[in-house]
Amino acid sequence: MLDALLPLTCPGCGRHGAGRGSPVCPACEPDLRAAVPAAPPAGVDAWFAPFAYAGVAREVVARVKYRGVRAAVPWLATKMVGVLGATGTIAVVTWAPTTPQRQRARGFDPAELLARAVARRLGLPAARLLSRAPGRPQTGLAAAARRRGPRFTARRGVAPAVLLVDDVATTGATLSAAAGALRAAGSHRIVAVTAARTPPPW
């Protein structure tokens, strides 16, 4: 139904109607790069991502993040769940929210869209557990500034084990800051999954 109502153009070749529920056509799928394994950032017990934020995958994520192409969200969420494996004691899915100003400007929060889609596939509840203080977005900041991360606060009495979702991560500072707030509010196990992560510079 999504293919019929919102036909996608493949970000690799520009063909209309990638179909099969995928935003990427079969010819361009081999160009999707898997994420390089990476140690989880501070405060996160495990970190998963299906794609490197490069090439075709970068364009798919960017279309969701910056242009609100929601038809790509189910496909990304399925890929994210596919790299998670067993979720064990995870009780709830949450996300690292954008600032209220950016959400108002965009009309949506891409991390929330992904988190809710991931939660549906896992059969888990999704809940807004974090709020983000105003500040500059991480995108475009130098690495040193990124590592300072945004400031989050969490609801009291959060679940002991949480799945934390974001769209893309570079240094992991946002995930680390969000995990710190969740731990301060009572969580003791935090697993993170992002649609993509920036590949290392080599």
2 pLDDT above the threshold of 90: no
pLDDT digit string, tens, across residues 137-149: 545 545 544 456 6
pLDDT digit string, tens, across residues 164-191: 999 999 889 999 999 999 999 999 999 9
pLDDT digit string, tens, across residues 89-119: 899 999 999 888 888 888 899 999 999 999 9
Domain map of the chain by residue range? 32-136+148-197
Pick the CATH number of 32-136+148-197 from 3.40.50, 1.10.1660, 3.40.1710, 3.40.462: 3.40.50
CA distance 29 to 42: 33
CA distance 59 to 51: 11
Please, are residues 155 and 84 in contact by the beta-carbon 8 Å criterion?
Answer: no
Please, are residues 138 and 174 in contact by the beta-carbon 8 Å criterion?
Answer: yes
Specify the pLDDT at position 104: 82
Helix (H/G/I), strand (E/B), else coil: 144: helix
Nearest 5°: the CA angle 101, 164, 38 is: 110
Please, are residues 59 and 41 in contact by the beta-carbon 8 Å criterion?
Answer: no
The radius of gyration of the chain from alpha carbons, rounded to an integer in Å, stands at: 16
pLDDT digit string, tens, across residues 60-78: 999 998 888 888 999 999 9
